């Protein structure tokens, strides 16, 4: 008996990171440069290198990263921004905060990533209606896997739309042999503790190859500051990153590749061991997942609920991402045009996320697999 299998194990992570983590944090307590200190400068250099981008601009969260990028593009009233309906609320929230219109796009049933066919249809419809001007696409790298970037890039170029990557869940993943970080004009990251690269609070970053945009993001994250201190060039935000969070992230980056390998090993063990009644996540072609989420599919809502209940009784934590697509959420209903997005609308009934994190032991993985097999046998016997 393994006992409890948590969805995320931050105490175990802290023990594994050990003294190195505390030393880095101790250094911040010594220099007392708590906001945008030397750790932030070091972190930005390492993030840029890792993601293969010229610049990394550290910010206070993944949401503020998206907000900063949209502000830099001048997104506002009368403009449409296209994004998947099957994602976290932050992707759409920032569009509405700026007074623009989020246009929800459907996803693929197997990979859960943005559907190009749906995107094409949605852009064409918005152009024809002529009420708002199509401006940008936010491609979301969902659950650790990349969005279909090659297709998105050629479509965005053809339509003259700005392409933004919401990579909050997938930093560390690779697409066509290269780490994510430069597929779009700007790539936004989140370091919320549950993301593949997480800090111990809120944090985020923006990666870009564009020198002018990087300078603009730096100004926007600090109240629109100009070249001089207290020179206010534009309306901005307080979206800076704390040095303590950067210190945590520097420690985590030292072991990031090992963690990604461990997540991959857990995913492969699940793939091989789960019963056939449970469909393992489909892989995006030519990619390597960062495995933020291992999301399986069940044949029906009742089977999903029954498996979830069985695992809960066995003290195995699970989660449902996402029970409801964004356009069905109270906050977004009014801005949706009523067009059906059938895949996003039905996925909530079938999906179930199993625990996947670098501190999951082999025993815990075997236990999750065994319990899933026990459950599947009970289903067959009940037939």
Ligand X SMILES: *Cc1c(COP(=O)(O)O)cnc(C)c1O
Contact 209, 55 (CB under 8 A): yes
Please tell me whether residue 110 adopts helix, strand or coil conformation.
coil
Measured between alpha carbons, how far is 304 from 298 in angstroms, rounded to an integer?
5
Measured between alpha carbons, how far is 280 from 295 in angstroms, rounded to an integer?
7
- Total residues contacting ligand X by CB under 6 A comes to 15
The reply on whether position 367 binds ligand X by CB under 6 A is: no
Position among 37, 62, 146, 198 found at the interface with ligand X (CB under 6 A): 62
The reply on whether position 172 binds ligand X by CB under 6 A is: no
Measured between alpha carbons, how far is 212 from 223 in angstroms, rounded to an integer?
17
The residues in 192-221 that bind ligand X, with binding defined as CB under 6 A, are 192, 202, 204
Position among 13, 68, 87, 318 found at the interface with ligand X (CB under 6 A): 87
Shortest approach of ligand X to residue 66 CB, angstroms?
6
Give, to the nearest 10 degrees, the angle between helix 256-273 and helix 243-254: 60
The residues in 330-349 that bind ligand X, with binding defined as CB under 6 A, are none
Measured between alpha carbons, how far is 140 from 359 in angstroms, rounded to an integer?
26
Euclidean distance between the first and the last CA atom of the chain, given in angstroms as a whole number: 28
Position among 108, 166, 183, 371 found at the interface with ligand X (CB under 6 A): 166
The reply on whether position 63 binds ligand X by CB under 6 A is: yes
Measured between alpha carbons, how far is 148 from 251 in angstroms, rounded to an integer?
31
Position among 21, 37, 43, 91 found at the interface with ligand X (CB under 6 A): 91
Shortest approach of ligand X to residue 47 CB, angstroms?
14
> What are residue 56's DSSP bridge partners?
207
Measured between alpha carbons, how far is 211 from 227 in angstroms, rounded to an integer?
15
**Span from 21-29, 82-90, 111-119, 224-232 in contact with ligand X (CB under 6 A):** 82-90
Shortest approach of ligand X to residue 141 CB, angstroms?
8
CB atoms within 10 A of CB 254: 14
Position among 28, 57, 61, 307 found at the interface with ligand X (CB under 6 A): 61
The reply on whether position 140 binds ligand X by CB under 6 A is: yes
Shortest approach of ligand X to residue 214 CB, angstroms?
20
The reply on whether position 73 binds ligand X by CB under 6 A is: no
Contact 13, 142 (CB under 8 A): no
Q: By C-beta, is 126 or 292 nearer to ligand X? A: 292
Phi, psi of 366 (to 5 degrees): -60, -40
Shortest approach of ligand X to residue 30 CB, angstroms?
28
Which runs of consecutive H residues, i.e. helices, occur in 274-341? 301-313, 330-333
Shortest approach of ligand X to residue 92 CB, angstroms?
9
Binding positions for ligand X, rule: CB under 6 A: 61-63, 87-88, 90-91, 140, 166, 168-169, 190, 192, 202, 204
């Amino acid at each position: 008996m393994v006992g409890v299998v948590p969805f995320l194990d931050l105490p175990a992570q802290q023990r594994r990171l050990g003294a190195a983590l505390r030393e880095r944090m101790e250094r911040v307590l010594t220099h007392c440069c708590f906001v945008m200190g030397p750790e932030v400068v070091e972190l930005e250099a390492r993030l840029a290198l890792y993601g293969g981008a010229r610049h990394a601009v550290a910010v206070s969260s993944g949401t503020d990263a998206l907000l900063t990028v949209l502000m830099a593009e001048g997104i506002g009233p009368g403009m449409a921004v296209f994004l998947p309906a099957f994602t976290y609320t932050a992707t759409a929230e920032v569009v509405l905060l700026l007074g623009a219109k989020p246009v929800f796009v459907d996803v693929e049933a197997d990979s859960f990533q943005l559907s190009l066919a749906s995107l094409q249809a949605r852009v064409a419809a918005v152009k024809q209606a002529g009420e708002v001007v199509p401006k940008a696409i936010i491609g979301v790298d969902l659950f650790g896997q990349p969005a279909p970037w090659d297709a998105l890039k050629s479509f965005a170029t053809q339509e003259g739309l700005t392409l933004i990557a919401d990579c909050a869940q997938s930093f560390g993943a690779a697409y066509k042999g290269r780490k994510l970080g430069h597929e779009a004009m700007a790539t936004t990251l989140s370091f919320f503790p549950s993301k593949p690269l997480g800090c111990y609070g809120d944090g985020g970053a923006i990666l870009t190859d564009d020198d002018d945009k990087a300078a603009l993001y730096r100004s926007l994250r600090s109240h629109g500051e100009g070249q001089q201190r207290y020179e206010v060039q534009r309306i901005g935000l307080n979206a800076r990153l704390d040095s303590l969070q950067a210190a945590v992230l520097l420690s985590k980056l030292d072991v990031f590749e090992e963690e990604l390998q461990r997540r991959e090993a857990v995913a492969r063990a699940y793939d091989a061991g789960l019963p056939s009644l449970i469909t393992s996540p489909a892989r995006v072609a030519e990619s390597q997942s960062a495995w933020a989420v291992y999301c399986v599919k069940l044949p029906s809502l009742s089977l999903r609920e029954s498996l979830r209940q069985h695992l809960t009784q066995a003290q195995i934590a699970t989660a449902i991402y996402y029970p409801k697509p964004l356009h069905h959420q109270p906050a977004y209903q009014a801005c949706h045009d009523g067009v059906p997005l059938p895949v996003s609308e039905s996925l909530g009934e079938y999906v179930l996320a199993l625990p996947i994190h670098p501190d999951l032991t082999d025993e815990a993985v075997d236990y999750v697999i065994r319990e899933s097999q026990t459950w599947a046998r009970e289903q067959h016997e009940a037939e």
